[in-house]
A and B are shown apart, each in its own frame.
Chain A
Amino acid sequence: MNSKPKLMLMIMSFLILTATSAFAHFGMVIPSSHIVTQQNKSIDLALSFSHPFELIGMNLTKPVAFSVYANDSKTDLLGTLKKATVMDHDSWQTAYHFKRPGVYQFVMEPTPYWEPAEDVSIIHYTKTIVPAFGDDQGWDQPLNLPTEIVPLTRPFGNYAGNSFSGQVLLNGEPVPYAEVEIELYNQQNTFKAPSDYHITQVVKADKNGVFSFTCPKAGWWGFAALNEADYTIKDPEGNDKNVELGAVLWVYFDPYLAN
């Protein structure tokens, strides 16, 4: 056998492998309940770093920060995190007890994740918004994160089939034509992708950083707007490498219920 086709095969398979993993990292903050009611005042939150559609986990080292923003104040929850396992990999979890109405924005800032396949460090600022006790105000407030998706559609009380719109901010400024990757958290392993292209859906924002996407199935949908940071982080060998900043937002879509 000629060595050239062999080499080509190796290169191609390498490209395919890196391509599939390149388009599916998501920071995840998934609460046990997406709406907090009087009957159910506490939720568990699972923090992980995964490929949500394919259900492939990665190890999440202890985040740099985990906080909840509500009613004009920020509360540090980092100390409450306990080790857990999601998709057979290291993850973190905590419980949160809601005392009063509000729209609670949970935000995880992970430790930079070195991804050798992409030659970058990845930081996904991950946000999940949980309304409590009927309050419905404040979900459109940016939290002044280094990068974030600010919802333009109310991020709760939505049906599968609704469109979701948001604005991508980087350092507080809209990102023109930002690329947004979208995946369904295929929690029960219900769905399989017809091709690798289908695993991650991709839309681009307009010149104001505003994007829209229709979520056809019930469940948690993750939106990740990826930008390159204007700084570098050293790789394990000590070389300065680029940083992928992800603004990730998780939104739940409910099915229509029969009467």
Chain B
Amino acid sequence: MRMIAVWLFLISSLFAVQPVWGHKTRVFAYGDGEYISGEAAFSGGKMAKDIEILVIDSASGTELSTGRTDNTGQFSIAIPEKAIVEKLDLLVVANGGDGHRAEWLLEAEAYLPGDSASSTPKLTEPALVQSPAVNIPTQKIAEPECLTQKQFEQQLDQSLKQQLQPIKHMLTKSQEPDMSFREVLGSIGYLIGVAGIIAYLKSRKGESNE
């Protein structure tokens, strides 16, 4: 009997912790050099940890590669060579089970290095623009030595980006005008306002007396 109670408690606590109902899954993917990077999350802001990510040829439905999200819901999967060669539009699917399935269509032009540079409009956040070092020609991808170096550069890029985030935030904040020195003038403004109201009321009174 006690065993059953413990078991029920454990089961119910599982349901309480997992965002099972009412939370839609979303997935986002982008071409990140030789990788398809992205994130999976639930509505409400929780990241989807350790769930399966499938890379599928959107035309044939063939599975080309798989990966998993990390503890922060991020993933990075090498672009399948078949996709590069055949310039396939890819379906990136986040498969969280329990009907938690979301997909993102990653068109060939969005991850093929040469094309993405030319098709990207100018209106992009500087922090998110791919660094030129990552944009290497397709042919070089096969060379393993080159790959590890690029990988290292990317990781360096990534960690720099993350560590600079708070500083960037502070800079953004410090750009806002500090208006406290103007507060001295405030009372004068209010006085003029009050005087205006009095003048208005007086003129109204004058009219109704006519």
Contacts and interface: CB of A to CB of B under 8 A. Distances in A.
Contacts of B75: none
Interface stretch (B41-49, B55-63, B145-153): B41-49
B82 interface: no
Chain A, interface SS category: mixed
B24 interface: yes
Interface string A83-123: 00000000000111101110000000000000000000000
Nearest to A80: B123
B26 A70 contact: no
A23 to B, nearest CB: 15
Interface string A205-234: 000000000000000000000001111100
A242 interface: yes
A230 B121 contact: no
Contact of A101 (B24, B28, B184, B189): B28
A75 B165 CA distance: 14
A77 B184 CA distance: 33
Interface stretch (A54-62, A132-140, A190-198, A250-258): A132-140
B185 A231 contact: yes
Max count, chain A CB within 10 A of own CB: residue among B28, B168, B180, B192 = B28
A139 to B, nearest CB: 11
Contact of B172 (A74, A171, A228): A74
A72 interface: yes
B6 interface: no
B125 A75 contact: yes
Given A11-B207, A136-B45, A230-B186, A101 B26 contact: yes
A145 interface: yes
A134 B105 contact: no
Nearest to B106: A38
B16 to A, nearest CB: 22
Given A136-B43, A136-B45, A230-B179, A100 B26 contact: no
Interface in B172-210: 172-173, 175-177, 179-180, 182-186, 188-190, 192-193, 203, 207, 210
A11 B199 CA distance: 14
Nearest to B104: A38
B34 interface: no
A4 interface: yes
10 nearest A-B residue pairs (beta carbon):
A134-B26, A230-B186, A231-B182, A137-B45, A74-B172, A97-B121, A101-B28, A144-B176, A75-B125, A230-B182
